[in-house]
Amino acid sequence: MATIEDVAKLTGLSRTTVSRVINNHPYVSEEKRKLVLEAMEKLGYVPNSSARSLRNQKTSILALFIPRITNPFFSELVEATEIAAAEYGYQLIICQTRYSPEKELNYMNLLKMKQVDGVILASIQNEWKKLKPFLQYGPIVLCNEFDDRANVPTVRLDQVYGGYIATKHLLEQGHTKIAYCSGGYRSNVAKSREIGFKKALAEYKVPFHEQYAFRDAFHIADGKRVFQKMMALSERPTAVFTGSDEVAAGIISEAVKCGYRIPEDLAVVGFDNQAITELTNPTITTVHQPVKQMAQKAVDVIVEKIQTKKYETKEIYEFPLQLIVRASTIGSKLHQYEA
Amino acid sequence: MATIEDVAKLTGLSRTTVSRVINNHPYVSEEKRKLVLEAMEKLGYVPNSSARSLRNQKTSILALFIPRITNPFFSELVEATEIAAAEYGYQLIICQTRYSPEKELNYMNLLKMKQVDGVILASIQNEWKKLKPFLQYGPIVLCNEFDDRANVPTVRLDQVYGGYIATKHLLEQGHTKIAYCSGGYRSNVAKSREIGFKKALAEYKVPFHEQYAFRDAFHIADGKRVFQKMMALSERPTAVFTGSDEVAAGIISEAVKCGYRIPEDLAVVGFDNQAITELTNPTITTVHQPVKQMAQKAVDVIVEKIQTKKYETKEIYEFPLQLIVRASTIGSKLHQYEA
DNA sequence: TATGAATATGAAAACGATTTCATTCGTTTC
DNA sequence: GAAACGAATGAAATCGTTTTCATATTCATA
């Protein structure tokens, strides 16, 4: 394994000069520069990352915290974040908290140990006061998830608006018995959507009944379970708002299997605009989230924070959401080949 | 930022003793050990990763190469790999090659620069002779993808068998005009499946026509495109083998939209057993791949190679595949509530 | 009671880079 | 022709650990 010393020896120059060539510093004669480059090539020399990190106090690695990567929303976020990070020359370490506060705190030590230059939190499992102390070791940027008490840069989507437009759409179709379905008790994303949901109901003077709320739905299986619960109610809802397309797909799948018609018997809106929304029958009305933009911004911001070393600045960057209307809410016109 | 020196000063001991406590080395009196632990706690001291990596010549980071993470097969692989790596105390860096040989070679420098202790290749974009030289810098383990010329540990699935059982299943249903659909020209995974596909055809004395082959299908949209191409043929196939559930779902979606019946007009088998296989209508017959086991084994193997430092050993670990029969191939019985 | 082993500790050398500071050599400037 | 400056280079310190080697103490054993 060739080191800078080997290159220095081979050229008869000092480590300093070699280092200058590597880092494109001035005051190296063209003659020596060529000599060094040739020697580096010949020895197959590449600077050692650990040594550089130690000396420069910088690893060029970011950590991205997500609950689990198999959730397509987070897959897309990881994809976009990795690409954006690579543009800046950063590597991305994936930290799956699996909804565990302990795992989250444990991964946070990456910042303390200086194994990463910064942390992007796309989900939050601990109270902010538990995370805040880590700010002394490096920047934390919130992306997607957020917390009012957190005095750090936050890149997020207007979830209140998302809940609002999706629900308003159902209300416009004449529904008054609308169920609410979400995942993540701790999540402010879910809470915001619920605020938007209730805001829309209030505007239409439609009351909300707590028995219509299901706040523990994450996966397809949860959707199936929730559907059965809804159908067991004495007064069944005619529409349901869900916090993810997976759950919406689960509901639809179970409904169709049980002989119900979507949207005639139950209108369903999803969230995320995932690929499955166009594959189910009927296709799923959903809310599109600009994940790529959000990821890009989060990386832009954290790179800037790493450079300026000002970590405790409350900056909010918010992107809009967009309703995508498909067959699961507006019925027959789009149901071209069914039945 | 407290260093080991600070802890040493606070306790009045040497760095050596503090280091011994950190690393649980023997020959430290219980009295001093406590003293050190208290001081570490008080200062909030945690060892610096870069310094450790430099000194120990070990980063405790693995790199996982995949084409793109939004492919659910690779999401699942990343999830399982991250969990398995974490058990060994390793972090996981994600390298999305996006099917680019240049990007792949570029990421390979992580090994050369010693930023990672090992590389798990779940996809291969370059000829092996281009990758082989990196073996002098650290272990490479193939996982999922493979190459006969590569003299390194390989954890893989029996793809020939996978192609075989899926195709045999179609043949057993009486199909003789069977199309073949896959993604990745360079991929030996795809090539193996094709071998299994043709083996099954041969056993049933069914000839294969090249116009039934579509080897550039990766996504849902490709499935839709392929469906249109198939229907434009003078002699249309009655069944199609696909290399991914996404493509199968695309085909089914497009077929249903155009008024065709699955499986009566076209039987479809997918690959991967992804969540969507149970959400489409009809549900998709597919081949289940034991991704978790494969990922776990790949991590076990690479950790061992890192320890033993023997990188050039050809070891093959192969896991079996399993056919999951659903409605997209066996028709009416499972189509309970359609029409 | 001397001897050797086991226990406990520290000084200093590594790991491989970058940076500070000093030095040398030309070239300009007054 | 001395002073000042810019260009080119290297020696050595530094980043924060772990490890090697040396030394000192304690303890058991002959």
Please answer yes or no on whether B94 and A115 come within 8 Å at the CB atom. Answer: no
Is there a single domain that holds both residue B96 and residue B242?
Answer: no
Of A257-261, A301-305, A313-317, B112-116, give the lowest mean pLDDT range: A257-261
Q: Out of A57, A112, A220, whose CB is closest to B279?
A: A220
**Range of the structural domain that residue A22 is part of:** 4-47
pLDDT band for position A186 (cuts 50, 70, 90): confident
Mean pLDDT, chain A, whole residue set: 95
Which of residues 99 through 138 in chain B touch A, CB cutoff 8 A?
Answer: 109-110, 112-115, 137
Distance A31 CA to C27 C1' (A): 20
pLDDT band for position B1 (cuts 50, 70, 90): confident
Instruction: Let me know if residue A132 belongs to a domain.
Output: yes
* B283-324 per-position pLDDT tens digit: 999 999 999 999 999 999 999 999 999 999 999 999 999 999
Q: How high is the pLDDT of residue B130? A: 97
Is there a single domain that holds both residue B108 and residue B203?
Answer: no
Cα separations (Å) of B223 from A32, B41, B246, B254?
A: 57, 58, 8, 8
Distance A29 CA to C30 C1' (A): 30
B20 touches strand C (CB under 7 A): yes
Helices within chain A (DSSP H only): 4-11, 15-22, 30-43, 49-56, 72-87, 101-112, 128-131, 159-172, 188-203, 220-231, 245-257, 291-308, 327-330
Instruction: Let me know if residue A54 belongs to a domain.
Output: no
* B203-249 per-position pLDDT tens digit: 999 999 999 999 999 999 999 999 999 999 999 999 999 999 999 99
Q: How high is the pLDDT of residue B315? A: 97
* B147-164 per-position pLDDT tens digit: 999 999 999 999 999 999
B245 burial type by CB count under 10 A (0-12 exposed, 13-18 middle, 19+ buried)? buried
Instruction: Let me know if residue A91 belongs to a domain.
Output: yes
Residue environment code for A222-231, b if the CB has 16+ CB neighbours within 10 A, otherwise e: bbbbbbeebe
Please answer yes or no on whether B279 and A82 come within 8 Å at the CB atom. Answer: no
Is there a single domain that holds both residue A163 and residue A254?
Answer: yes
Is there a single domain that holds both residue B116 and residue B9?
Answer: no
Residue with smallest Cα–C1' gap to D6: A27
Is there a single domain that holds both residue B168 and residue B280?
Answer: yes
Is there a single domain that holds both residue A198 and residue A332?
Answer: yes
Is there a single domain that holds both residue B296 and residue B152?
Answer: yes
Kindly state whether B251 is in contact with chain A, defined as any CB-CB distance less than 8 angstroms.
Answer: no
Is there a single domain that holds both residue A147 and residue A78?
Answer: yes
Of A158-167, A258-267, B210-219, B327-336, give the lowest mean pLDDT range: B327-336
Judging by DSSP bridges, how do beta strands A322-324 and A286-288 pair with one another? antiparallel
Q: Tell me which chain A residues have a C-beta less than 8 angstroms from the C-beta of B104.
A: none
Q: Tell me which chain A residues have a C-beta less than 8 angstroms from the C-beta of B92.
A: 93-94
Is there a single domain that holds both residue A98 and residue A207?
Answer: no
Instruction: Let me know if residue A53 belongs to a domain.
Output: no
Region B117-137 average pLDDT: 97
DSSP notation for A256-322? HHTT--TTTT-EEE-SB--GGGGTSSS--BEEE--HHHHHHHHHHHHHHHHHH-------EEEE--E
Instruction: Let me know if residue B305 belongs to a domain.
Output: yes
> Considering only CA atoms, which of B219, B74, B106, B121 is closest in space to residue A78?
B74
Distance B15 CA to D20 C1' (A): 14
* B51-91 per-position pLDDT tens digit: 999 999 999 999 999 999 999 999 999 999 999 999 999 99
Q: How high is the pLDDT of residue B334? A: 42
Kindly state whether B82 is in contact with chain A, defined as any CB-CB distance less than 8 angstroms.
Answer: yes
Instruction: Let me know if residue B68 belongs to a domain.
Output: yes
Q: How high is the pLDDT of residue A185? A: 78
Q: Out of B49, B79, B256, whose CB is closest to A337?
A: B256
Is there a single domain that holds both residue B148 and residue B176?
Answer: no
> Tokens 């149901």 correspond to what residue?
A335
pLDDT at B337 over 90: no
Give how many domains chain A has, as a whole number.
Answer: 3
- Peptide bond connecting B139 to the previous residue in cis, omega within 30 degrees of 0: no
Instruction: Let me know if residue A179 belongs to a domain.
Output: yes
Is there a single domain that holds both residue B108 and residue B67?
Answer: yes
CATH number at residue A26: 1.10.260.40
Is there a single domain that holds both residue B277 and residue B167?
Answer: yes
Instruction: Let me know if residue B54 belongs to a domain.
Output: no
pLDDT band for position B333 (cuts 50, 70, 90): very low
